[in-house]
Structure 1
Amino acid sequence: MKKPINATERLLSRAGEDSGFRSRLLANPRDAIEREFGVILAEGHEVHVHEETDTSTHVVLPPRSKLGAEERRAAKTGAASLEFLKKTMHDPAPPIRPPVAKPTISRAGTATPETLAKAGRECIRRGLAFLESTIDENGAWHCIRFNTADPNIPRHFEKPPFVSALCVLALESCDDDRARAMCSRTRDYLAGTIEYPGFWRYYRHLPHDLDSTTLCSLAIGDHPWILLGRNVPRILENRDEEGRYMTWVLEEDEPGVAAAFRIEADPVVNANVIAYLGDHPETGNAQRWLEAMIGEGSLEGSSKWYPDTVTIFYATTRAMVRANPALARLRPVLADRILGLRDDKGEFANILQTAQAVSALHNIGSLESIDASRQAEWLIGSQREDGSWPELLAFGDQSLRWGAIGQIGHGSESVTSALCIEALTRLVRILGA
């Protein structure tokens, strides 16, 4: 069944045409909705359905804001308020640890696929143990904010919902019980940070953004607000004249700190919107825009927030899987583009890019086009003794508009490790087949 772009409208339409369904929806809303869409709604969230009549009118008030009036005022000037920023950031982060020495890749085929599959499963086990030690008691993942131009600028831990959603979506590929348990805790955390009618912010002093909102929505798709598409109308309103989705959701009473550098269209953000909304006319222009840029090879400089082209490919292939048949025409082109990122030794630039490339190729059914053993050896050999993979730049504003101060990067050992576990999971299944 094709995912409806707005499930609430579908329920209203069905109830208007089918009196039996209308009665079931009124008597037991949760059961009727679950049966209609073939889903299980998140526990702990009540669902009520009211029926208006000619003599009875219902007014539904939205939830109270999670930020008080004073906090909302502070948020509007948060970028200039050190005290408010301290609430957004957390403890200073330690210096970056150097990666392990680059492993020597077997040239003579001494490592058999079976041996590598076994080693890969052990790496995944150790990696999950490391991640368990880094996720906080609420299920939040941490990231590190740092300056890519000046290493002397202090590094800080941060816990934006965006990072938690990104890592949960990566770990969904792993069928280990510990991965499932971590994902469950993190989904609870994401549900606790949602703002009506289904939006998220990266920082409290920033407005809602579609990157955070769509990834978090994908991660907790069983939340009633998300399942019923409560956030869809506002997402659809946030398009430019060409039908592409804009990053920031700016409103009159929202923080204005993002207005000065608002991104009119980012390829990763648009890919994430397509992944969430699905293959519908409302995402058609965004799909065609992505197809044109990738097909023409004109992605260079197209994203302010994602410096590596492989990240755009990774997000695009995730959208292809989740919004099938969206972007299907890109399948052969993407395979060529991803393989073209390798050097003359057949290797990608770093271990994070390797992980994203492996998962992207898996998503489009082209994983057999690379040497799975070689990539597995690199991933296995790059893991530290404590089960982590090195911190690398995952995303961030690298434009020079604000000078060295504005060159902010984000990444962490946890982020790299989650994506490496996703890639190893894909490779182990091939090697162990």
Structure 2
Amino acid sequence: MELAAAQARPMEASELAEAIARGLDYLHQHQYPNGEFCSYFAPDAAMQEWCVPDSCIFPTALIAGSLLFLAEHPPADEILTRTTGFLQYQMNRGGLWHHFTGLHPLRGPLPLDMDDTACVSALLRARGIACPMPTNVPLLLANRNRQGLFYTWFVARGWYANRTHWRITLPRLAHPLRNLVLWRSVEATPGDVDPVVNANALYYLGDLPETQPVIAWLLRLIAENQEAGCDKWYPDAHVVYYFISRNFFRGITQLEPARQPVIDRIVAAARPDGRLGDTVLDTALAVCTLLNWGAWPSELRPAVQFLLGAQLPHGEWPRWLVYYGGSKKLVGWGSEEMTTAFCLEALARYQAIIS
């Protein structure tokens, strides 16, 4: 690995720095004044059939999470500062978040959710922001099933002792018809328990006695080779690998048994042009995942070179769906901004290795 790094340094250092600077400039110019980033929903993975802007919280949180690795760059720091202000403004009672912003017509009907809450809370903590205050951890821990896994949605279930949970969920019971229409019109149920949502809850909460069932579940999914399609919102295996591996990088070493199987599966998908998977997004997520596991296979450098070559003239990378609205994959969300953030994370972390 040291020899490879020494060979790569004179050829790639300037290319990496230029690509990162251009990508950051693109995101800096394309962030909305309120701190939000554009996201679209579309019916096809390449987002070419039709593409509609959608005001969501989650894409902005994911973009900012990737930019944490570039926080020493002034443009990234400015982006993160605006983003945290936007996310703080979108917070709901108890320190919870919706998927949609306050501008969205589905903000009212859709319940608060664990995925957005965990990712936003982790980001704010990483930026040194005590929000919510006091902590929302007891509320999140109250939103688990009898097996100790986290529910995706915060809804009334009938046995919680947490008073804040009741204050948040009981008002929804006053709109039974609206709730019925919602659950019949979306690919979701009040009792959803999703693996990647649990992985993101683990990322925020960390290694606690209460999160051990999540760790065991994630290990079992990888051991049984069930990662592709295991989560209705994240059917692509590369996305699943990314979110699980973040926990290992964060220090949850109990996930070690999943390390080598995931590395082997990523490397097995390498293409002659350097791609790790089928797309630019797959490749960026795969590079980040390998680095999260502390792996530097020979396929890593060609993958980075592929990303450098795929950057578009204005500094962005092409949009691709990151997550879906259900298992039927009728619609999903993505944007140039989201792909660009994942690519920047991959390049910045690779740059840190070879510098």
Common fold by TM > 0.5: yes
Percent identity over paired residues: 31
Return the offset for 1:334. Answer: 2.7
**1:365 is matched by which residue type in structure 2?**
G
Please give the per-residue CA displacement for 1:341-371, whole angstroms capped at 9, x wherever unaligned: 33476632111110011011111100x1133
* 2:113 paired with 1:185: no
* 8 Å contact kept, 1:116–1:376: no
**For the structure 1 residues 373 and 334, does the alpha-carbon distance in structure 2 shift closer, same or farther, using more than 3 Å as the test?**
closer
- With 307-316 and 245-254 compared, the bigger mean Cα shift is at 245-254
* 2:117 paired with 1:213: yes
Return the offset for 1:264. Answer: 2.3
Listed as ranges, the matches of 1:323-342 within 5 Å are 323-342=251-270
* 2:66 paired with 1:162: no
Question: Which sections of structure 1, spanning at least 5 residues, go unmatched?
Answer: 1-110, 401-405
Listed as ranges, the matches of 1:199-348 within 5 Å are 199-203=96-100, 204=107, 205-221=109-125, 222-226=128-132, 228-229=134-135, 231-250=136-155, 251-254=169-172, 256=179, 259-260=183-184, 261-262=188-189, 264-343=192-271, 347-348=275-276
* 8 Å contact kept, 2:124–2:131: no
* 8 Å contact kept, 2:275–2:306: no
* 2:320 paired with 1:414: no
* 2:328 paired with 1:423: no
Aligned residue for 2:171, secondary structure, equals: coil
**For the structure 1 residues 344 and 127, does the alpha-carbon distance in structure 2 shift closer, same or farther, using more than 3 Å as the test?**
closer
**For the structure 1 residues 253 and 148, does the alpha-carbon distance in structure 2 shift closer, same or farther, using more than 3 Å as the test?**
farther
Aligned residue for 2:342, secondary structure, equals: helix
Return the offset for 1:323. Answer: 4.9
Give the length in aligned residue pairs: 315
Please give the per-residue CA displacement for 1:101-136, whole angstroms capped at 9, x wherever unaligned: xxxxxxxxxx95422221111011011111111110
* 8 Å contact kept, 2:274–2:306: no
Aligned residue for 1:395, secondary structure, equals: strand
Q: Give the equivalent residue in structure 1 for 2:4.
A: none
Aligned residue for 1:347, secondary structure, equals: coil
Q: Pairwise CA RMSD of aligned residues?
A: 2.3
The CA distance in 2 between the partners of 1:407 and 1:168, in whole Å, is 27
Listed as ranges, the matches of 1:15-414 within 5 Å are 112-148=8-44, 155-174=51-70, 175-203=72-100, 204=107, 205-221=109-125, 222-226=128-132, 228-229=134-135, 231-250=136-155, 251-254=169-172, 256=179, 259-260=183-184, 261-262=188-189, 264-343=192-271, 347-348=275-276, 349-366=278-295, 368-400=296-328, 407-414=330-337
Return the offset for 1:151. Answer: 7.7
Larger helix proportion, structure 1 or 2?
A: 2
When normalised by structure 1's length, the TM-score is 0.68
When normalised by structure 2's length, the TM-score is 0.82
Return the offset for 1:153. Answer: 7.6
Structure possessing the higher radius of gyration over alpha carbons? 1
Question: Which sections of structure 2, spanning at least 5 residues, go unmatched?
Answer: 1-6, 101-106, 156-168, 173-177
The CA distance in 1 between the partners of 2:334 and 2:324, in whole Å, is 9
